[in-house]
Structure 1
Amino acid sequence: MKRVLLLLFIFNYAPIINAQYTEIINSKRPGFSESPYSVGTDVLQFETGVFYRTSNNKVLYAKPNSIGGELFFRYGKFLDKLEINAKVAYQKDEILNNPSEAITNISGISELTIGAKYLFYEQKYTDKSKEIRSWKRRMAFDKKRLIPSVGAFVGVNTNFLGDGFKENELTLKGAILLQNDFSDRLVLLTNLIANKILSNSNEYSYIATMTYALNYKWSYFIENQGIFEKHYTPKFHFGTGIAYLLSQNLQLDASVRTNFFDDYSFLYSSIGAAWRLDRHSDEVIIKKSPRARLSKKRKKGNFFSRILKKKNKRN
Structure 2
Amino acid sequence: MIKKLLLFIAFLSTLVVNAQYTTVINSNRPGFSESPYSVGSGVYQFETNLFFRKINATPTFSNPEAFGLNLLFRTSFFSEKLEFNLNTSIQRDKIAFKNLFESSYNKVGLGNLTLGAKYLIYAPKYNDKKKEIRSWRARHSFDYKRWIPHIGIYAGLNFGSLLNEPHKEGGISPKVGLLLQNEFSSKLNVVTNIYYDNIGTDFSELSYIVTGTYNFNDYWSGFAEWQDIFETYERKNNIGVGAAYLFSENMQFNAAVRSNFNQDEIGITTSIGVSYRLNRHKDKFLEVDEFGNKIEAQKTTKYTQNKGFFGRLFDNIKGLFKKKDKQTITIKEGEKEEEITIDKPRRERSKSLVDVIVKEDIKQKKKTTKAEKKAAKKAKKDAEKAVKNKEKERLKLEKEIKKLEEKEAKNKEKERLKLEKEAIKEAKRKEEERLKLEKEIKKLEEDIKKEEEKEQNKDN
Q: Same fold (TM over 0.5)?
A: yes
Distance of aligned partners of 1:123 and 1:185 in 2 relative to their CA distance in 1, 3 Å threshold = same
1:98 aligns with 98
Equivalent pairs: percent with the same residue?
A: 45
Q: What secondary structure sits across from 1:126 in the alignment?
A: coil
Distance of aligned partners of 1:57 and 1:203 in 2 relative to their CA distance in 1, 3 Å threshold = farther
Cα shift at 1:261: 7.5
1:197 aligns with 199
Please tell me whether the aligned partners of residues 21 and 39 of structure 2 are also in contact (alpha carbons under 8 angstroms).
yes
Aligned residue runs from structure 1 range 45-194, under 5 A: 45-56=45-56, 58=58, 60=60, 62=62, 64-99=64-99, 100-158=101-159, 159-194=161-196
Tell me which amino acid in the other structure corresponds to 1:111: N
Aligned residue runs from structure 1 range 261-272, under 5 A: 263-272=264-273
CA distance in 2, matches of 1:263, 1:250: 39
Q: What secondary structure sits across from 1:106 in the alignment?
A: strand
Cα shift at 1:9: 2.9
Gaps of 5+ in 1: 290-315
CA distance in 1, matches of 2:172, 2:91: 20
Please tell me whether the aligned partners of residues 188 and 213 of structure 2 are also in contact (alpha carbons under 8 angstroms).
yes
Matched, 1:225 2:257: no
Please tell me whether the aligned partners of residues 52 and 271 of structure 2 are also in contact (alpha carbons under 8 angstroms).
yes
Please tell me whether the aligned partners of residues 95 and 104 of structure 1 are also in contact (alpha carbons under 8 angstroms).
yes
CA distance in 2, matches of 1:259, 1:43: 34
1:284 aligns with 285
CA distance in 1, matches of 2:145, 2:180: 14
Matched, 1:206 2:208: yes
CA distance in 2, matches of 1:267, 1:29: 18
Q: What secondary structure sits across from 2:11 in the alignment?
A: helix
CA distance in 2, matches of 1:43, 1:261: 38
Cα shift at 1:160: 2.2
Q: What secondary structure sits across from 2:130 in the alignment?
A: helix
Bigger CA drift: 258-267 or 89-98? Answer: 258-267
CA distance in 2, matches of 1:7, 1:104: 48
Tell me which amino acid in the other structure corresponds to 2:83: E
Q: What secondary structure sits across from 2:10 in the alignment?
A: helix
Q: What secondary structure sits across from 2:145 in the alignment?
A: helix
Cα shift at 1:284: 3.5
Tell me which amino acid in the other structure corresponds to 1:95: I
Cα shift at 1:61: 6.8
CA distance in 1, matches of 2:258, 2:195: 19
Q: Answer 1 or 2: which has greater helix percent.
A: 2
Please tell me whether the aligned partners of residues 13 and 37 of structure 1 are also in contact (alpha carbons under 8 angstroms).
no
| TM-score, normalised via structure 2 length | 0.59
Please tell me whether the aligned partners of residues 108 and 164 of structure 1 are also in contact (alpha carbons under 8 angstroms).
no
1:245 aligns with 246
Please tell me whether the aligned partners of residues 10 and 215 of structure 2 are also in contact (alpha carbons under 8 angstroms).
no
Tell me which amino acid in the other structure corresponds to 1:122: A
1:297 aligns with none
Cα shift at 1:165: 2.9
Please tell me whether the aligned partners of residues 13 and 213 of structure 2 are also in contact (alpha carbons under 8 angstroms).
no
Please tell me whether the aligned partners of residues 6 and 23 of structure 2 are also in contact (alpha carbons under 8 angstroms).
no
CA distance in 1, matches of 2:210, 2:125: 21
Cα shift at 1:282: 1.3
Please tell me whether the aligned partners of residues 213 and 224 of structure 2 are also in contact (alpha carbons under 8 angstroms).
yes
Distance of aligned partners of 1:262 and 1:168 in 2 relative to their CA distance in 1, 3 Å threshold = closer
Q: Answer 1 or 2: which has greater strand percent.
A: 1
Cα shift at 1:57: 5.1
Cα shift at 1:236: 2.0
Please tell me whether the aligned partners of residues 169 and 203 of structure 2 are also in contact (alpha carbons under 8 angstroms).
no
Q: Which has the higher contact order (CA 8 A, sep 6+)?
A: 1
Q: What secondary structure sits across from 1:200 in the alignment?
A: coil
Gaps of 5+ in 2: 291-460
Distance of aligned partners of 1:275 and 1:134 in 2 relative to their CA distance in 1, 3 Å threshold = same
Cα shift at 1:206: 0.6
Distance of aligned partners of 1:18 and 1:61 in 2 relative to their CA distance in 1, 3 Å threshold = closer
**Cα offsets for 1:103-140 (capped at 9, x unmatched):** 12111011111010000100111111111111111001
Cα shift at 1:286: 6.4
CA distance in 2, matches of 1:137, 1:154: 41
Distance of aligned partners of 1:46 and 1:139 in 2 relative to their CA distance in 1, 3 Å threshold = same
CA distance in 2, matches of 1:66, 1:135: 55
**Cα offsets for 1:277-313 (capped at 9, x unmatched):** 1111212356799xxxxxxxxxxxxxxxxxxxxxxxx
CA distance in 1, matches of 2:278, 2:205: 34
Query: Which structure would you say has the larger Rg?
Result: 2
